[in-house]
Amino acid sequence: MVEVTVTPQSSLADRPVQIRVRGLSPSQLVTLRAWVKDEQGECFQSRAFFRADGAGEVDPGIHAALGGSYSGVWPMGLFWFLQPDTLFRRLVKRDVAGSPFRVRLEVLDGLCLGADPREQPLASCEAERWYVGPGVQRVPIREGRVRGALFLPP
């Protein structure tokens, strides 16, 4: 049975995570796809193609992506190379304290280039990416023409 995991499953957006896929056949070609919807419902996604090692595992921190949104060894590549489905959109988090981005990770058999809704993932999981840590207080700043926010640690 194929399994994909993200460790830790919930983390701050600037912290690295480890992605691991287990249960593949040795040398199996797979596509790892990450996607997230922003607060306006726009979809951003990335994908990378990998060949499983002799144990049937893929670790983007060790194994080089063969192509897709990037190539080479990029442990956080699936997060860093998220691209919008609609041109000229940016992935921006407006409600930084209230909710995380929930990034969906999927393992697809073979090389999958499109976003065909009929593609059934072999395995999937979800990673929470928070922008404010627990107990951090956000104080809005308005002074003359200056606008901003002060984030105070607990």
The pLDDT tens digits along the chain (154 residues) read 999 999 999 999 999 999 999 999 999 999 999 999 999 999 999 999 999 999 999 999 999 999 999 999 999 999 999 999 999 999 999 888 889 999 999 999 999 887 666 778 999 999 999 999 999 999 999 999 999 999 999 9
Answer for the pair 2, 105: CB distance below 8 angstroms, yes or no: no
Q: What are phi and psi of 98, to 5 degrees?
A: -85, -30
Contacting residues for 16 by C-beta, under 8 A, at least 6 apart: 75, 76
pLDDT at 119: 78
pLDDT at 116: 64
pLDDT at 145: 95
**Beta strand 10-12 with 123-130: parallel, antiparallel or unpaired?**
parallel
Structure tokens at 124: 């999937």
Q: What are phi and psi of 149, to 5 degrees?
A: -145, 140
Domains, the chain, in order of start with CATH, read 3-152 (2.60.40.2240)
Q: Helix H segments across the chain?
A: 77-80
State how far the Cα of 43 lies from the Cα of 120, in Å rounded to an integer. 18
* Neighbour count for residue 1 (Cβ, 10 Å): 6
Answer for the pair 103, 126: CB distance below 8 angstroms, yes or no: yes
pLDDT at 115: 63
State how far the Cα of 57 lies from the Cα of 107, in Å rounded to an integer. 12
pLDDT at 117: 62
Q: What pTM was estimated for this model as a whole? A: 0.88
